[in-house]
Amino acid sequence: MSARLVLASTSPYRRELLARLGVAFDMARPDVDETPAPGESPADLARRLAIAKATAVAAGRVAWVIGSDQVASLDGQPLGKPGNRERAIGQLQAMSGRAVAFHTGVCVTNGDQPRFALDTTVVRFRTLEAGEIARYVDRELPFDCAGSFKSEGLGITLFEAIETRDPTALVGLPLIETARLLRDAGFTLP
């Protein structure tokens, strides 16, 4: 298939992941309010936002659009992107010695019926000391990452284990499901 493909994101992490599939694509910033609805579970939030981002960018375009969103969940409560050093340190302190679920939704649509998949990855954090948390945050500056770490970088040193079907999901775009959804939409992948 030679249809136009658009990634509904400006994330460099998602761009790098999608490029691994060997398909040409453009990128567009989705204009979507990411505020959780009252009582919305983290998995439902990831689903709603992935679909909303894809459909928002698909509106008025002749293209297939991929939308994705990731919501970290500690004790059933969503953890957003920290945005600054203090909140990143606080998130990592809260996750120390605990298991955190990362729900990553992906949607592929051409404006019609959206195709959706969800991956849940569980990260088990080591018991972290205050000094190592501060050193990590100061070195990687993970302020734009759900959960305050970059698993593709030094963040991997914070873990005891990762339980997942798709290791790319933790970075922000589950490529196994994305490839399946693109094939279902008619794209030819290697």
Residues tagged active-site: 69
- What's the rounded Cα separation, in Å, for the pair 34 and 13? 19
- What's the rounded Cα separation, in Å, for the pair 114 and 52? 10
Cβ distance 12 to 170 under 8 Å?
A: no
The crossing angle, in degrees rounded to 10, of helices 85-95 and 130-140 is: 130
